[in-house]
Amino acid sequence: MSASRASSATPRLTAGWATVAAKELADHLLSVRFFVLLLVLGAAAIIPLYFAAERLRSLASEVSGAQAVFLALFTIGPEGVGFLRVDRFVAIAAPLLGIGFAFDAVNGERSEGTLPRLLSQPIHRDDVINGKFAAGLAVICIVLVAVVLAIAGFGLARLGIVPAGSEIVRLIAWLGITIVYVALWLAFGTLLSVVIRRAATSALAGLGVWLFVAIPFFGPLLLSALLGIFLRPVTGEETLGALGLQETILRLLPSTLYQEASLVLLNPSVTSVSTPTTIDQLIQARQQIPSLLSLDQSLLLVWPHLVSLVALTAACFGLAYVRFMRQEVRA
């Protein structure tokens, strides 16, 4: 055993956070919530896919030779039902993944009484929260990549749609920004688990925020109703102004950022993410000749969105980190 003492005195090969992450990852993958969330997201992928496949078949003649047929797998659903699309479904369900894997990260250890024991091991305190975040991120990546690959595989095998090179890159970019978006919710869940002492309360708080931020029926509709009441737009200019204000406010929400970015990345024909703010701009937009954005232009369009999402994630995680480092070990 003297060898072990010697080896523990020298810098170890495996960092503390990696050990924590490995244990947390194993826990996640064997947990009930992993299967539940996999089912939810799987349903979120398969149900719209079913409708998308139907429509793609009937539209095949029209869209053949047109742009981005492969990506249409992700962006079209049954006629008249807007939200039954893979991208919308993922936008709604993915935050649950983030909250689901983080809401009890720290307060769970606290209530089980394992936190003092864990912190009395020779690891830095931030190894605990870093390891947990890394494990959550890994699970999210696994789930999202699996779902996207399943959809793509379905498209290839059953519908015989072969993606173009740029479509693959767009898909990877979309996957990337989706992971960042879920990471934001993961960081938010971690923050809740640090600040709120009871796991059940922090789960409820997370779901409450999710309801108003990620579900379009709540936050955005409520906001537009409120703006309508207070601004009472009459003229066209006023209506556009109110819309612009609404957009500005909504853009503070990460869900809006994500939805816009997702739209642009999956749909090359989207050339703008803002509504026109004057009548002239509106006319201009109407007269615009429909065109496809090249990949680099689409990426340029969503670059601010990506940066904002990453910044929000960093801010959430940073806050959780600082609060955790300053917390007393005892409850």
Partner 1 sequence: MSPVKRKGALRRRETAPAAGAPSAPPPIRTLGLTKEYGDLVAVDALDLEVHAGEIFGLLGQNGAGKTTTILMLLGLTEPTYGEARVVGLDPERDPLGVKRRVGYLPDAVGFYGGLTGRENLRYTTRLNGLRGPEGESRIADVLEQVRLTDRADDRVDTYSRGMKQRLGIADALVKDPDVLILDEPTTAIDPIGVVEILDLLRSLVAERGMAILLSSHLLNQVQNVCDRVGIFAAGRLIGIGTVPQLARRFGDDAAHVAVGFGGLEEREATDRVAAALAALPGVSEVVPPGAGHHEWRLGVEPVERVPDVLAGALAMAARDGLRLVSIREVVPSLDDIYRRAVAEAGVAGEAPRRAVA
The amino acid present at 147, given as its one-letter code, is V
Specify the residue, 29 or 172, whose C-beta has the smaller distance to partner 1: 29
Neighbours of 125 (CB within 10 A): 16
First CA to last CA distance, the chain: 36
Beta-carbon-side half-sphere exposure of residue 257 (alpha carbons within 13 Å): 22
What does the block give as tokens for 101?
């894997």
Q: How far is the CB of 274 from partner 1 (least distance, A)?
A: 49
Q: How far is the CB of 125 from partner 1 (least distance, A)?
A: 8
Q: How far is the CB of 127 from partner 1 (least distance, A)?
A: 9
User: By CB under 8 A, is residue 27 in contact with partner 1?
Assistant: yes
Query: With CB under 8 A as the contact rule, which of the stretches 14-22, 226-234, 241-249, 308-316 interacts with partner 1?
Result: 14-22
Angle between helices 254-266 and 86-100 (to 10 degrees): 140
Distance between CA atoms of 82 and 131, rounded to whole angstroms? 39
User: By CB under 8 A, is residue 55 in contact with partner 1?
Assistant: no
Specify the residue, 80 or 113, whose C-beta has the smaller distance to partner 1: 113
Element (H, E) at 301: helix 295-326
Residues touching partner 1, count (CB under 8 A): 32
Distance between CA atoms of 151 and 171, rounded to whole angstroms? 11
Eight-class DSSP state of 234: -
Q: Which of 80, 113, 160, 165 binds partner 1 (CB under 8 A)?
A: 113
Query: With CB under 8 A as the contact rule, which of the stretches 89-97, 108-116, 164-172, 200-208 interacts with partner 1?
Result: 108-116
* Backbone conformation region of residue 65, classed left if phi is above 0, alpha if psi is from -120 to 50, else beta: left
User: By CB under 8 A, is residue 297 in contact with partner 1?
Assistant: no
Q: Which of 29, 81, 112, 217 binds partner 1 (CB under 8 A)?
A: 112
Give Dmax (Cα) for the chain.
83
What does the block give as tokens for 255?
């869900």
Specify the residue, 25 or 52, whose C-beta has the smaller distance to partner 1: 25
User: By CB under 8 A, is residue 120 in contact with partner 1?
Assistant: yes
Query: With CB under 8 A as the contact rule, which of the stretches 63-71, 120-128, 165-173, 221-229 interacts with partner 1?
Result: 120-128
Overall residue count recorded for the chain in this entry = 331
Q: Which of 47, 53, 119, 315 binds partner 1 (CB under 8 A)?
A: 119
Q: Which of 164, 172, 222, 329 binds partner 1 (CB under 8 A)?
A: 329
User: By CB under 8 A, is residue 6 in contact with partner 1?
Assistant: no
Specify the residue, 9 or 157, whose C-beta has the smaller distance to partner 1: 9
106: which residues sit within 8 A by CB, 6+ positions away?
Answer: 115, 128, 129, 132, 190, 193, 194, 324
82: which residues sit within 8 A by CB, 6+ positions away?
Answer: 88
User: By CB under 8 A, is residue 16 in contact with partner 1?
Assistant: yes
User: By CB under 8 A, is residue 165 in contact with partner 1?
Assistant: no
185: which residues sit within 8 A by CB, 6+ positions away?
Answer: 94, 95, 96, 97, 98, 99, 102, 206, 210
Q: Which of 82, 114, 172, 248 binds partner 1 (CB under 8 A)?
A: 114
Which residues contact partner 1 (rule: CB under 8 A)?
A: 1-5, 7-9, 12, 14, 16, 19-20, 22-23, 27, 30, 112-114, 116-124, 328-330
